[in-house]
Structure 1
Amino acid sequence: MATAVPSQRPEGDISDAFASLSGMDFKPLEPRFAEIKRQLISGKGEALYSSWVRLLASLREEIPLIARLGSKVIPVIDFKDIDNASPKFRAEHKKRGVAVIRNVISRHEALDMKQELRGYIAANPHTKAFPKDSPQVFELYWSPAQIKARSHPNLIKAQRFLMEFWHSKDPNALISSSHPLIYADRLRMRLPGDSKFALGPHVDSGSCERWEADGYGRGHVFDSIWEDLYQGVGACSASRMFQGWLSMSETAPYEGTLLVNPLLSRATAYYLLRPFFTPKIAARDPTAETYDEAFLTPENWQLEPEPTSWLHGASPGHCQELRAALHPHLNLPSSMVHVPKVQPGDYVSWHCDTIHGVDSVHTGSTDSSVLYIPSCPLTVANAQFVARQREAFLNGWPSPDFGGGVGESQHVGRPGVEDVERVNSGDGLQAFGLKAFDGEAEGLTSGQREVIDRANKILGFYH
């Protein structure tokens, strides 16, 4: 166990991740971003414009369908059926990037977790939360309930099922979607009537980095966008394949729940291409929620004559946010739909590039409580992260990707390794980086065997 807190990010809460919650306005960025944009599309102008026109046509077809179906557009499956998922579910999940898995954990277990959380928070009133005057999102990563949920055999099986939808073009790729790793995230306990935790449409994992060569460009994540192949979004190269949460409440639409934009490939292509295009004739009302066809028509849009430093909705150090005025063709009031009503123990999952948000007002009569639990594959970089995260767990510090400080190191009732082992002594301990992976198991590819070997060395199980 370490004796000193390692280098951490600045202390803070969830509001620090969002420009809108931090009181910032969206505006042009520093001049270097104009040059980044210029380099990304150099020599590709005509092809990119043709791609843009096709993309807008596709959005005009898809968005009315989503608006008509609403929550029904999101595929749903029961946990007991995931070993034999139907072709329809598989196809819709790939297209939408969102899914609800019912009954991953029993209702009584999920409700017990919520009661345990309340007790942990009450025993530790110094726990940080947002907003301060009415806590909704708690800076907790190592509570007993979170430990139990992340290491639960059913939850890990559900994550494995979801991640195996991903694939790599390289059979020797150093990645295994069959070996989930823990990514310690926060939790939400949203109260009826709340309007402060009002996260508008956004995408996790940074913003400006999506266009930068030293950001997502290092993994060539979005190369197909710049090469006029927007249908190819979703290549297997992210550290978090899916974001997700486990429900601890019965929550219906408008009751403080999640909204998603189930247009995964097209919406991703749109918010990445949007900064390169500008309207010839501006909208009559730039503050409107929806726009007329004359403004939206492809004939009214052109490549910027000279690249600007605008990256619409992007701010350094914050998530990518989306607004009707900045992303008019997405028709966000119609294309953002609620997830179906959830029960305690249901798991909601969405692709890491999916646009999502939450109800601006919680109009329900009971709490809307969830544990954020993403799905992460085994990779070399993820093993390195888990090694640092394991140290944070053992010491009670915040998860390495979040605000720093002493975290839960002084919290009463904070669990340890034995608590993980008690829930799941197999892949639960492995997911936490507390037990070596089996590189000799049957059915592994050469890439899986190699990444397991490297991960076990990184995690200190052998040299």
Structure 2
Amino acid sequence: MLRSSRAGSRLLSTTTLQYKTIRNAATAQAEKREGDISDAFASLSGIQFKPLDPRFAELKQKLVAGKEEALHASWNRLLQSLQEEIPLIREQKSNVIPEIDFKDIDAASPEFRSEHKKRGVAVIRNVVPEQEALDLKQHLRDYIAANPHTKAFPPENPQVYELYWSPTQIKARSHPNLIKAQRFLMEFWHSKDPSALVSSSHPTIYADRLRMRLPEDARFALGPHVDGGSCERWEPNGYGKGGVYDDIWSGNWETYDPWESSGRLGVSSDLYQGVGACSMFRMFQGWLALSETGPFEGTLLVNPLLSRATAYFLLRPFFSPKNPIDVPQDSSEPFPDSYLDPSNWTLDLSSQNSWLQGATPGHGQELRHALHPHLDLPNSMVHMPRVKPGDYVSWHCDTIHAVDSVHAGKTDSSVLYIPSCPLSVGNAECLARQRSRFLEGTPSPDFGGGKGESEHVGRPGVEDVRKVDAEDGMRAFGLKAWDGSEPGLSQGQREVMERANKILGFA
């Protein structure tokens, strides 16, 4: 029932889309239980961090076997590097975050590029005109007012809404400027395999939530964490499937490349069917600001140490202090130099315990000052600079990030979570499942079951996407075929487009 046979312009009717995406066994996935954002993180669910199943002790022992000396030397070099870098962050604070105006991204300076590669975070100013962003926020409020049964966290004073298909989100995700900004960011990634089936030049949509945080809120106090799974990062059938962190496990953290994409294509980041655990490959997390927000006003904090911080939280479970200090998990008190000194830390050689500090199956990876002392989180977590409506904030998928524990501002802190996802085979499969939920109005596949917005007044459809961007926007949503005849494509890009078109029902 294709309406056109020419590649790049093929569209499926709504009826056909519903049939193909709902009935196609190739894209079937068990529905997750209903939930909200608190289900995604142990700390928001009231779960304490503790030792895990004994099998994790065996897993850890296998990871270090035969590499003990190299790992210990690597750990010591890492601690020395953190001692040099963290004072710079403590001094510069938000100024360490690189910024660029949207109009300049076609000619980004070498300085911006260098800092972005090192830090993994950025602010792109004026991606959407300010008044347009403010109008989007008002339309969002109208949608919520028209649908008072919308789920949110916390239910008694909503801050994070279980909305995925509001008119505002549809318009923002498919906005041509936003898609161009995502393409600019993702092209910082590269692949060591020239034939890898991934294209960072072709963004795909990931339907995430939104935040409208109100002054004085202290419930949505999400501390330092990393998205994309937790235990999976150490497991051979998780991130181990792509060898993503092999350099770190071999004792060469300095050669670990956080910007290499081919190793991440086979990763399983959700082995435990966690509510809110992302099944797509997100190169960057990101949000579009709908309000002016600054430090301590309910905004984002990030750890701009990217490769060093990643190596640290991955290696931390293998090392123990010779002279431990008993402190509460929520402590933020500074540690004495003698405790942090490398000579006080030893690799557990005889046997590993089952601790993966901050990791809980089915939840995101969390970090705490008491569990990850050398990161000095109270000082190395810095606020994003003040943003205005229409600015886009992004951070690498491995970046440690958090939100203000208290919103001490005077106005709302509102953002749309819009990550940057490349075109890949796995992402196309996720896109097919997501497209079905879009048509039904039910929650995005990663975020639990339930009726969602299926009965919401004013919920948009395919034509609403087409009105915003009939080309890249429609393709990013999985509503139009990818054009494999586009000039300048690599063989890998052409092949992934062909595979994606089959998965999405266009071939």
Q: What TM-score bracket applies, with the shorter chain setting the length?
A: over 0.9
Tell me the distance in 1 between the aligned counterparts of 2:345 and 2:468. Answer: 56
The whole-number CA distance in structure 1 between the counterparts of 2:231 and 2:394 is: 24
Counterparts of 1:300 and 1:387 in 2: how far apart (Å)?
A: 51
Deviation per CA, 1:359-413, whole angstroms, max 9, x where unpaired?
A: 0000000000000000000000000000110001011111111121111111110
Partner of 2:165: 142
Structure 1 residue corresponding to 2:108, chosen from 79, 82, 85 = 85
Tell me, in whole angstroms, the C-alpha distance in 2 between the residues paired with 1:284 and 1:40: 28
Match of 2:413 among 343, 360, 368: 368
What pairs with 1:316-355 in structure 2 (closer than 5 Å)? 316-355=361-400
CA contact (8 A) 2:74 2:252 kept: yes
Give the equivalent residue in structure 1 for 2:7: none
Cα distance change, pair 426–439 in 1 and its aligned pair in 2 (3 A) = same
| Map of 2:91 onto structure 1 | 68
Q: Quick one: distance in 2 between partners of 1:384 and 1:414?
A: 24
Query: 1:10 is matched with which residue?
Result: 33
Query: What amino acid is aligned across from residue 163 of structure 1 in structure 2?
Result: M
Q: Which residue of 2 aligns with 1:304?
A: 348
Matches of 1:250 and 1:421, distance apart in 2: 29
Partner of 1:445: 490
Of the candidates 56, 65, 70, which is equivalent to residue 47 of structure 1?
70
**Pick aligned residue for 1:411 from 453, 456, 477:** 456
Question: Given that residues 8 and 405 in structure 1 are in contact (C-alpha distance below 8 angstroms), is that contact kept between their aligned partners in structure 2?
Answer: no
Q: For 1:290 and 1:247, how far apart are their aligned partners in 2?
A: 34
- Counterpart position of 1:192: 215
Assess if the C-alpha contact under 8 Å between 2:332 and 2:378 holds in 1.
no
Contact persistence 1:96–1:264 (CA under 8 A): yes
Residues 233 and 268 in structure 1, CA contact (< 8 A), matched pair in contact too: no
SS at match of 1:243: strand
Counterpart residue type for residue 339 of structure 2: F
Residues 1:289 and 2:333 are matched in the alignment: yes
Question: After the TM superposition, which of the residue ranges 265-274 and 441-450 deviates more from structure 2?
Answer: 441-450
Inter-partner Cα distance in structure 2 for 1:388 and 1:248: 28
Task: Note the alpha carbon deviations across 1:165-214, whole angstroms, 9 max, x for none.
Answer: 00011111111000000000000000000000000000011101110111
Q: What CA deviation, in whole Å up to 9, does each residue of 1:296-318 have, x standing for no partner?
A: 01100001142000000000110
Matched AA of 1:13 = D
Question: In structure 2, what is the equivalent of residue 461 of structure 1?
Answer: 506
Alpha-carbon distance in 2 for matches of 1:361, 1:454: 46
Q: Distance in 2 between matches of 1:214 and 1:132?
A: 37
Instruction: Provide the C-alpha distance between the structure 2 equivalents of 1:272 and 1:73, rounded to a whole number of angstroms.
Output: 24
Give, in angstroms, the shift of residue 284 of structure 1: 6.4
State which of 217, 220, 230 in structure 1 corresponds to 2:240: 217
Select which of 157, 161, 171 maps to 2:194: 171
Alpha-carbon distance, 1:285 to partner: 4.7
Q: CA deviation at 1:225?
A: 1.1
1:208-231 per-position Cα deviation (integer Å, ceiling 9, x unaligned): 111011111112111111012213
2:293 touches 2:387 (CA, 8 Å); kept in 1?
yes
- Letter of the 1:137 partner, please give it: V
Is 1:315 aligned to 2:338, yes or no? no
Alpha-carbon offset, residue 41 of structure 1:
1.1
Shift, 1:288, TM fit: 4.8
Q: Distance in 1 between matches of 2:326 and 2:492?
A: 55
1:137/1:186 contact within 8 Å kept = yes
Structure 1 unaligned segments of length 5 or more: list them.
none
CA distance in 1, matches of 2:193, 2:107: 26
Is the Cα–Cα contact under 8 Å of residues 18 and 319 in structure 1 kept in the other structure? yes
| Deviation string, structure 1 residues 35-92 (Cα, Å, up to 9, x no partner) | 0101111100000000000000000000000000000000000000000000000000
**RMSD, aligned CA:** 1.2
For structure 2, which runs of at least 5 residues remain unmatched after alignment? 1-17, 266-280
Match of 1:27 among 50, 53, 71: 50
Q: Who is 1:387 aligned against? A: 432
Report the counterpart of residue 260 of structure 1 in structure 2.
302
Secondary structure, aligned partner of 1:401: helix
More divergent stretch after superposition (351-360 vs 235-244): 235-244
- CA distance in 1: counterparts of 2:402 and 2:497, whole angstroms: 35
Contact preservation (8 Å) 1:104, 1:158: yes
Tell me the secondary structure at the aligned position of residue 21 of structure 1: helix
TM-score by length of 2: 0.90
* Aligned equivalent of 2:269: none
Q: 1:282 to 1:343 in 2, by over 3 A?
A: same
Structure 1 equivalent of residue 273 of structure 2: none
Residue range with higher mean Cα deviation, 171-180 or 221-230? 221-230
The TM-score with structure 1 as length reference comes to: 0.98
Equivalent residue number for residue 479 of structure 2: 434
1:403 maps to amino acid: G
Contact 1:36 1:212 in 2 (8 A): yes
The one-letter amino acid of 2:366's match is: E
Measure the CA separation in 1 of the matches of 2:459 and 2:46: 34
> C-alpha distance in 1, partners of 2:332/2:128?
43
Equivalent AA in structure 2 for residue 258 of structure 1: L
What does the per-residue CA deviation read over 1:333-362, in whole Å, with 9 as the maximum and x for residues that have no partner?
Answer: 100000000000000000000000000000
1:246-271: CA deviation from partner (whole Å, max 9, x where unpaired): 00000010000000000000000000
Q: What residue identity is the alignment partner of 2:345? A: W
Aligned residue pairs, count: 462
CA distance in 2, matches of 1:188, 1:214: 33
Distance in 1 (CA, whole Å) between partners of 2:372 and 2:357 is 8
Q: What displacement does 1:7 show?
A: 3.3
d(CA) in 1 for partners of 2:439, 2:227: 27
- Contact preservation (8 Å) 1:258, 1:338: yes
**Contact 1:253–1:338, Cα closer than 8 Å, also in 2:** yes
